[in-house]
Structure 1
Amino acid sequence: MSPLIEITDPKIYDPAVVLIDVRGGADAHERYLQGHLPNAIFASLDDDLADHPEDAAYGGRHPLPNLHDFAATLQRWGLTPDKHVIIYDDKNAAMGGARLWWMLRSIGHDNVQVINGGLKAATDEGVELSTDDYKPQPAATLYPVADSYKNTVDIEEVKKAAKDDNRVVIDVREGARYLGHTEPLDLVAGHIPGAVNLFYSNSLSPEGKYLTAQALKTLYQNTIGNIKPGDVIVHCGSGVTACHTLLGMEHAGIVGPRLYVGSWSEWSRRDLPIATEKN
C-alpha cells in the first residue's frame, strides 16, 4: 500500500475508515473547527502525539508519548488493528500528519495513509468542509501495543553514526538553521557535526504535494548514495518534520530509515559539539 492517497480517492469518505485531522499549536482545535473534512477526528500534535517534557535536553521538544497513553488515545479514536486509517493536516503533512503516520507504522499498524497535499488539496478540489466537533465511538478495548516504538535511535547512536562513513545522519531543517544563521525555536543554532542537510520541503511540488515516487527516489539517493536504508537516520528540530521525509522515502521505495526523535532540540541542549559549516 502506498503511504499516500489522493484527495479524489473515494476511500477517504468510507464510513469504515478512521479519518484523522492533525493540527499543531495553541490554536489547533480552533483551526479544526473552522473547517475540516467531514467525520474527521481532531488530533493534537502537542497533546496526542507527544509527551510534555520537563526538560527538552532529554527527549527534545516533542518526545513520543508513553505507549500506554498512545494506546488509550487510539482507543478514544475508535481505532482497532483492522482499521484503515487516513490522515491529513493543514501543513502538507509536515506538522503532524506524517508524524502520526510514522507512529502508527512504528507500532505495527500498516493500514495507514496520508492525504497528499493535506487540507489544501481538499480546498483546491472544492471539497465542502465541516465545522462540527466530530466525536467517534471509542473502541471497546485498548489498542494493543508492544513495549517500545520501532525504528528509532537515541542520542548515543546518533553520536556514533555521525562519525561513520557507512551511515548517514540527515537533518531536514531549512538551510539557514542547519548553517547556524538563525534558530527560531531552539537555544543554539547549527547542526550535528557530520550530519548532511536536505530540507524536507524539497520533496514537495509548488502545489504542496509530494513529488512523484521516481523524483523522490532521485532526490533522496543523491544524499544517501549507496548507504543501506537501515543505516540512514533522519532528524529535524523535534522529531516532527523528519517524519515527512521518512514518509517521502517510503513512497520512493526507500524503506527502513530510522528517526532520531529528540533531534536538534535535544542535541543542542546537551553541551555537545555543534557545527555551522556545510558537511
Structure 2
Amino acid sequence: MNPIITPNQLLEAVQTNAIVLVDATNSQTAYQNYQQSHLKGALFVDVNTQLADIKEDVAAGGRHPLPTAEQFSKTLTDLGITPETWVVVYDDKNGANAAARFWWMLRSIGHEKVQVLSGGIQAAIQAGFPVSSAVEVPNQVELYPVQHWQWPTIDLEGMDEMIQNDNFVVIDVRESQRFKGEKEPIDLVAGHIPGATNIPFTTNLDENGFFLSPEKLKSNYQKSFENTLPENRVVHCGSGVTACHTLLAIALAGLPIPKLYVGSWSEWSRNNREIVVEK
C-alpha cells in the first residue's frame, strides 16, 4: 500500500470503505483541540502516552522512547484496530510529526494497511473534508496480536559503533540551525552527531506541504546513500518522532528502510558523547 494518501483520495475512500481515521496531532493542547474540531470520524491518539513510553530520565532512551509491543497492542485495541484494518493517520504538521511515528510503529509490527494523510488536516479541510467536534467512539475488537518491533532500530551503543565505521550515513532531519549548533530550543545542548548529514524533513515536501513524488524523493536520497549498505544507514531527529517522516519519504521512494535511532539527539546529547558544532 502506498504510504501516503491525498485529501481527495481520502474523501473518496471514506465513502466506500471502512477506514479507521486517526488524529495524531501533537501539542500540549492537542486533545483539547481535538475536542473542538477534527476531521469527521477521527479518533485521537496521544504521542506522549500511547506512542511513547516516556521515562523520567531523558538520557535513558530520549524524550520519546518506544513503548513495549504489549503497550502498543493495547493502544491499537483501544482504537478499534485489527490486523485487517485500513488505517489513515494525520496531524497538523503535514504528516511530519506523530502521524509518521504512528505509521512507522504500525508498519514495524507488520501492519500493512496504513497511510499518512499528505498535507495534514489543513489540506483535508481545504479539500472539503468535513470537520466535527464529536468525540468518536472506537469499535470494540479483540486484542491486537503484537509480538515485537520488526523494522530496524539502533540504540546509543549501536550508534557508538556505527560512527566508527568508514562507510555509514546518519541523516539528521532537524532544521539546519539546530544541526549546526546555532540554537537548540528543546534539548540541553546544540550541535550534531559526528559524521551526520543534515537533510531537514521539510525537504521531503513541496511548497504546499505535500510529499514530493516518489521519483524526486528517490533521486534525493540515493545521492546521500550512494554505495552505503542499508544496514549502515540511520535516521534520527530530536526524539525519534519527526525522523519517521523521513523514513516514510524513503519508503515512498521505494528504497530500503534505514534504522531509526529512537533516542535521537535528546539521548545522544545527554550522554557525554562527542558533539560537533559548526563555526
Structure-2 residue corresponding to 1:224: 225
Match of 1:138 among 128, 137, 140: 140
Task: Answer yes or no: is 1:96 the counterpart of 2:95.
Answer: no
1:33-52 pair list within 5 angstroms: 33-52=35-54
Deviations 1:160-219 (A, max 9, x none): 222323221111101110111100000100011111111110111111101111111111
1:65 CA drift (Å) = 1.2
1:114-263 pair list within 5 angstroms: 114-139=116-141, 141-263=142-264
Check conservation: 2:172, 2:200, Cα contact below 8 A: yes
Check conservation: 2:181, 2:190, Cα contact below 8 A: yes
Task: Answer yes or no: is 1:19 the counterpart of 2:21.
Answer: yes
Task: Answer yes or no: is 1:3 the counterpart of 2:19.
Answer: no
1:11 and 1:126 map into 2 onto residues whose CA distance is 14
How high is the TM-score relative to the length of structure 1?
A: 0.95
Q: Percent identity?
A: 48
How high is the TM-score relative to the length of structure 2?
A: 0.95
1:52 CA drift (Å) = 1.8
Structure-2 residue corresponding to 1:264: 265
1:78 CA drift (Å) = 0.7
Deviations 1:105-150 (A, max 9, x none): 11111111111111011122122211111111221x2111113453
Aligned length: 277
Check conservation: 1:87, 1:97, Cα contact below 8 A: yes
1:248 CA drift (Å) = 0.3
Q: Which runs of 5+ in 2 are unaligned?
A: none
Deviations 1:35-84 (A, max 9, x none): 22111111111111111211010110011112211101110111111111
2:61 and 2:13 map into 1 onto residues whose CA distance is 36
2:122 and 2:95 map into 1 onto residues whose CA distance is 10
1:76-95 pair list within 5 angstroms: 76-95=78-97
Check conservation: 2:5, 2:117, Cα contact below 8 A: yes
Worse-matched range after superposition: 249-258 or 266-275: 249-258
Structure-1 residue corresponding to 2:275: 274
Pair 1:131–1:275, CA change in 2 (3 A): same
1:116 and 1:161 map into 2 onto residues whose CA distance is 33
Match of 1:58 among 53, 57, 60: 60
Worse-matched range after superposition: 231-240 or 221-230: 221-230
1:228 CA drift (Å) = 3.0
Check conservation: 1:158, 1:169, Cα contact below 8 A: no
2:144 and 2:224 map into 1 onto residues whose CA distance is 37
Check conservation: 1:25, 1:46, Cα contact below 8 A: no
2:5 and 2:50 map into 1 onto residues whose CA distance is 23
1:226 CA drift (Å) = 2.1
| 1:49 counterpart SS class | coil
1:156 CA drift (Å) = 1.2
Task: Answer yes or no: is 1:29 the counterpart of 2:31.
Answer: yes
Pair 1:160–1:12, CA change in 2 (3 A): farther
1:105 and 1:230 map into 2 onto residues whose CA distance is 18
